[in-house]
Amino acid sequence: MDAHLDLAYNARALGRDLTLPLEALRALDPHPDTPLVTLESLKEAGVAVAFATLFADPREGGREDWEEEVYAQLALYEAWEARGLVRILREGRDLKDHLSRYPEDRTLGLVLLLEGAHPLAFPEDLRPLRARGLRLLSLSWATQNPYAGGNAEEGPLTERGRALLKEMEALGVALDLSHLAEEAAWEALKAYRGPVCATHANCRALNPSSRHLSDELLKALAARGGVLGLVPYNAFLEPGWKRGQKRLPLDAFLRHKAHAEGLMGPTGVGLGTDWDGGFGLEAIPQGLDRHRDLRALGDEGFLGGNWLRWLLRWF
Ligand SMILES: [Zn+2]
């Protein structure tokens, strides 16, 4: 399982055809960042379920643009589903059905995640998205929005944010703490009684950045039965790593894994690669080229069992 892939953003914002084989996409991709993911590379690796995002960059355009982009990305996932390329897991029965069919047809299952609530004008705007399959939401993305502060713009959980958490509880939408300002994350953990996780974040103790989770927050997440998805991305592993520098050894990733497992237990940690648009092959640790290489990083629980058990508890 991969708990964070911005597949539709990657396809739309970077114009990549993710239905191509990875080598074919790499051969014709014009961007300096070498592509890391296609639907085929996920199939080859045996990724059975991915949390697939709906994401509009809040630094570009306004709320109506973001809403339009989110619905366009949703339509892309639905089009892939109509072609038999993926299965969108909307309800518990879809997940159970998927798990029984996956070993034979190896069709990727997608659980939809809205990354940042900024496209929603009001908390009630979550309902039509839930009706089309949305099951996870992170309140903010980097910047502050009407619901909560973000990792790059500190701020609390607002009244509208609290109303959105109530809506999520009622609709069965889980809370992703990634990108949330620390203050807002503590408030959200108190206010929200549904399932919590962090789909893509690393250990702040090893990389002191507000983008990552403090030891206290990791422990609180584990106490709620939540899972952390670790990101094999060099800039998230070591402070100061910059684009263009030498790729880090795999050890840089394994240190975060050991630290998180020390705080959350081995059942609390998995993968959330975030491998797509934002960075490429040049920015991930040595020894990793595509999803199949992740298999060397951990046991069955780390590679998917932990996320799957979390999902099966509430989905
Ligand atoms: Zn994302």
Contact between 288 and 36 under an 8 Å Cβ cutoff? The reply is no
Give the C-alpha separation, 228 to 163, whole Å: 25
The whole-model pTM stands at 0.97
**Average pLDDT, integer, range 132-145:** 97
Check residue 278 and give its pLDDT: 87
| Confidence category of residue 82, pLDDT binned at 50, 70, 90 | very high
Q: Report CA(180)–ligand 1 centroid distance (Å).
A: 13
Residue 8 backbone dihedrals phi, psi, to 5 degrees:
-70, -35
Residues with Cβ–ion distance below 5 A, ligand 1: 6, 53, 115
The mean pLDDT of 220-247, rounded to a whole number, is: 97
Q: Which residue range(s) make up the domain with 132?
A: 2-314
Report, as an integer, the average pLDDT of 129-135: 98
Ligand 1 centroid to residue 152 C-alpha, Å: 15
Look at the chain and report how many structural domains it folds into. 1
**157 pLDDT higher than 80:** yes
The phi and psi torsions of 264 (rounded to 5 degrees) equal: -105, -10
- pLDDT band of residue 276 (cuts 50, 70, 90) is confident
Q: CA 112 to CA 235: how far, in whole Å?
A: 26
Structure confidence at residue 132 (pLDDT): 98
Burial of 102 (0-12, 13-18, 19+ CB in 10 A): middle
- Integer angstrom CA distances of residue 64 from 27, 61, 164, 230, 283: 35, 8, 19, 32, 33
The mean pLDDT of the chain is: 97
Q: What is the Å distance from ligand 1's center to 217 Cα?
A: 20
Beta-strand pair 174-176/196-197: parallel
> Residue 277: is its pLDDT beyond 90?
no
- Give residue 146 CA to ligand 1 midpoint distance, Å: 19
**Model confidence pLDDT, tens digit, residues 24-58:** 999 999 999 999 999 999 999 999 999 999 999 99
DSSP secondary structure code for residue 68 in this structure: H
- Mean pLDDT on 111-117: 98
Please tell me the distance between residue 230's alpha carbon and the centre of ligand 1 in angstroms.
Answer: 13
The CATH number of whichever domain residue 127 belongs to comes to 3.20.20.140
Quick check: 87 and 98 in contact, CB under 8 A? yes
Q: How far is the centre of ligand 1, averaged over its atoms, from the C-alpha of 157 (Å)?
A: 20
